[in-house]
Amino acid sequence: MEAKRHEVAVLIRTGHGTNDIVTLTNVCRRTVCFNKEDYNIRNVTTTDQAPDLRDDMAPIWFDTGYKLTAADYLEILKTKITKKAKKSSYVFQQDGAPAHTANVVQKWMADNMETWPKNIKACKIRHSNVNDLKTSVNKVWRSMRKVYVADVCRAFRAA
């Protein structure tokens, strides 16, 4: 199985999509998605990193057609996110996706995550399609000045 994981990782790094990787390696979609998470985990934004490293905190997008289930999301939270979060201060954000709002996930978050802004107005904005959402998020992300990010980090640390 380790050889398969390595093969999947190489295909991810070379830009292959999930469907191509499943076809080429004969592994399940879930294995590919978990490998993508290992390779490109960016769900935790730490507040003790230098603001000029914000490129390391860029949004992550799943492949078109991938439906994240509450069980898969909870597994990612338990195995990936909490390991990253324990290493430093963090702010964890999620939107209103069904996997994020499932009762089992909400309960686990309340019991295990120290910093968790549950209701963020910006996450409630509806976009007509995924491309509009991605464009909007990426535009705002690129428009943030490093000075602004530094000020927000300082203000958060002081609170």
Same domain, 55 and 133: yes
Domain that holds residue 19: 1-40
The pLDDT assigned to 104 comes to 93
pLDDT in tens, 39-79: 543 333 444 444 444 444 445 566 778 888 898 888 878 87
Same domain, 80 and 69: yes
Which conformational region is residue 27 in: left (phi greater than 0), alpha (psi within -120 to 50 degrees), or beta? beta
CB atoms within 10 A of CB 113: 15
Same domain, 14 and 76: no
Same domain, 35 and 46: no
Same domain, 33 and 48: no
Check pLDDT > 80 for residue 102.
yes
- pTM value is 0.39
CB atoms within 10 A of CB 51: 18
Mean pLDDT for 110-115 is 70
